[in-house]
Amino acid sequence: MSGLNRSTRAARSRTLIATTLLLAVMSVLIPFKATASYTQTQHPIVLVHGLFGFDSVVGVDYFYRIPEELRRSGARVYVAQVSAANSTEVRGEQLARQVEDILAATGASKVNLMGHSHGGPTIRYVASVYPHMVASASSVAGVNWGAPMADVLQGVSDHIPLSSSVIAGLGNSFAGLINLISGGGQQQDINAALRSLTTAETLRFNNDHPEGMPTSYCGNGAAVGPNGVRYYSWSGGRTLTNMLDVSDPFLAALSVVFLGEKNDGLVSSCSSRLGHVIRDDYRMNHLDEVNHMLGLRHIFETSPVTVFRQQANRLRNAGL
């Protein structure tokens, strides 16, 4: 009888060990499977740069490390290349043609657009004019109520002799250089870009393309526009975020035009608001938001890469 009991106990022990091992393996594989599809949206993601932006220059991406991290867990990601400097409408039409190519190449019916800075109004234009191609528009520090610095430069251009030519010469030369080394091949027009980013011109643009926009400054807009597109936004509210980042003092100096209003150095937090506002107060400046300067950021803030991954997961969970 004792031998039988020992045999039974041994069998139960082997079963317990096997069950424990199975649960251990499942605890590893199940999270891995979930992580592997964390950013796997139904529709491809298209990233759109801002003023003086690019897709990649000498091996450094505008959206630094963001496309590959999104792809790592399932997303199909494309980085658009529109004019480094031009009007919102011109950039929007350039983006629309690239979206058409992406849809043709992938067989997808729509895309999820994510635009930074001037890329915000650019993706809003495409979502408004070509809503059949767009599932969602995520604005990252988008210039949705105008940029004070653009107002300043436009005022200088309008009232000081020869300044318009100087601004155009310097701006177009810089944009042309970016275009050349990034292989863009797009037309540049800095004066058209600055006009698009002024408060007056932005308000006109909002009247023509109101989807997702708050009805008042610093308000909340509709998460889903009448065109069926879902709108999201997020932005930072700091300028000095990392003592090793040489761009921080420059952005801090530019922020004086906001007269104390919360901003990221180039765009106010209130101006960035569109649709479902995820946050407008990350401890990030205008370059941190897309992980610029090789990922230097505030050590106590979420990584910008993680913020993009979270947004992709949000889109995935919404069936987009």
- Residues with a catalytic annotation lie at 117, 264, 286
Q: Are 188 and 80 in contact (CB under 8 A)?
A: no
* Residue 77, SS3 per DSSP: strand
> 199 burial class (0-12, 13-18, 19+ CB within 10 angstroms)?
middle
Q: Are 236 and 292 in contact (CB under 8 A)?
A: no
> 26 burial class (0-12, 13-18, 19+ CB within 10 angstroms)?
exposed
φ, ψ (nearest 5 deg) of residue 171: -65, -45
| Number of Cβ atoms within 10 Å of the Cβ of 294 | 10
| Biggest CA-to-CA distance, the chain | 109
Order of strands, sheet of 276-282, starting from the edge strand that comes earlier in the sequence: 77-79, 45-48, 111-116, 134-140, 230-236, 276-282
Taking the C-alpha atoms of residue 239 and residue 36, their distance in angstroms, rounded to an integer, is: 34
* Residue 56, SS3 per DSSP: strand
Taking the C-alpha atoms of residue 61 and residue 77, their distance in angstroms, rounded to an integer, is: 13
